Structure 1
Amino acid sequence: MPKPDLNDLVAFLTVAREGSFTKAAASLGISQPFLSQIIRDLEARLGVRLVARTTRSVAPTEAGARLASAIAPDLEHIASELDALSAFRDKPAGTIRVSLGEHAARTRIWPKLPAFLEAYPDVKVELAIDHGLTDIVAEGFDAGVRLGERLARDMIAVRIGPDLRMAVVGSPAYFDRHGKPTTPNDLIEHRCINLRMPTYGGLLIWEFEKDKLAQNVRVDGQLVVNSTGHALTGALGGLGLALVMEDVARPHVASGELIQVLDEWCPSFEGYHLYYPSRRQASPAFAAFVSALRS
């Protein structure tokens, strides 16, 4: 039986990880028909079906799942070693893939990117905006960005931002009609903009604390969104109260477009960290990226 090519195995693993030929082809930088042919040829050489195709999705068969589980660690190790070879270049080079949320990207990454990319022209940075709790190892990312309280213990974490706070905000027109809450429990009587959590699909519980007294409130309202950016837009439009990052709301509060309430009930919490597997061998490009975010 002819042995499969390493590139064919990488293509298969990408399809299995993405669950889509279209997404996998985009990730690999090849056409979808060409990728489909690679998988068909690999299946023909191995004599087994590796992926089950439907009109809506692609999933590994039992044989495919076993193959993916067996080769993923080895291919990850090979990729890490290839990245490490850049240490022998005059300048850091390679691609750095990072999974993170929209707020972290806008406030912690974008401000540092122009100078970093100019300093290291041979380094590429891929930012994948994902509001869920992505498994960066399984999904093939070099690193992720999360709040300090949500970090896994088996990861190396590097703090890249200050403490943060949440803010409850509403428009002046909204408060003219409905008044202002003075305690978190008052929110039950207000129209609040709910946030649908991406990981489990439930609605975000609004958490508050004052003098070590915690109050968690399940708010209600006519509008549900899946990003704090849309919640802020709804608040600006007078559609209800929104719970958003204070730094995002601050310009609108300063301009008078929004009013912040329950300020004393919103304590600060640990800010963003860049995290990555403890077994990852840091390439010069990745080390430079970490250093740029810490500075």
Structure 2
Amino acid sequence: MFLTLANVDVVYNGVIQVLRSTNIEVREGQMVVLLGANGAGKTTTLKAISSLLHAELGEVTAGRITYKGKDIANADPSDTVRDGIVQVLEGRRVLGHLTVLQNLMVGAHLRSDRAAVKTDLERVYDYFPALPPLLNRTAGYLSGGEMQMVLIGRALMARPELLILDEPSMGLAPILVQQLFETIGRIKREEGLTVLLVEQNARAAIAQCDYGYIMEGGRIVLHGDREQLQGNQDVQEFYLGMSGAADRPSYRDVKHYRRRKRWLG
């Protein structure tokens, strides 16, 4: 298996447990989506894989995270990038004082193959044709959509084998969301990448994914391929807005309880 999380627990500050026996499998070449409400543990799962927990006083305290046969739980982040795992964090975290080109080149800072770096820059421009006219612009003054292009382009410059995306469509207009997911799908196909995606736009994410997981309270409560998720009544109601019950009260706590009851049987 390309990436496996087996019974993973994550604890912050030595006392706050966020992940509880989390189990996820990602096959090479797949696009896998992780869905769930705010606070379910999705971002923590991604940071556990990309070795970014220590910056927030978090730690994998139980279980194994295995990537291409290697245990990477609590690894050094630079080693994780060298191994081919690159994460695009949520929140449009460009280096705002640098230009677009400088941001892109930051992604290649561990590489010494200058000729290949130049070729990869051209590929990034092909995926995101809006970027070349902006290369000398200060990244902090870009629009949200432009920043997201820079961030994904910067990640591609690191030559990832596993690309991790955390809420890439957050705050974008619907037409930009559609374009973004089409581009992500194209990158996956043409680069042969494996993609792990956390996304609030469940409809767009499921439409593109090969497999998906639903997380509640730090646990995986449901998983299946695209057709299984699209056909699941609870996924339709709680994530795709297809309940057909607009006249019923929508009490968040009641729906959360019902969702938990259905997931866990």
Instruction: Report TM bin, short chain.
Output: under 0.3
Greater relative contact order (CA < 8 Å, ≥ 6 in sequence): 2
TM-score w.r.t. structure 1 length? 0.22
Whose radius of gyration is greater, 1 or 2? 1
* TM-score under structure 2 length normalisation: 0.24
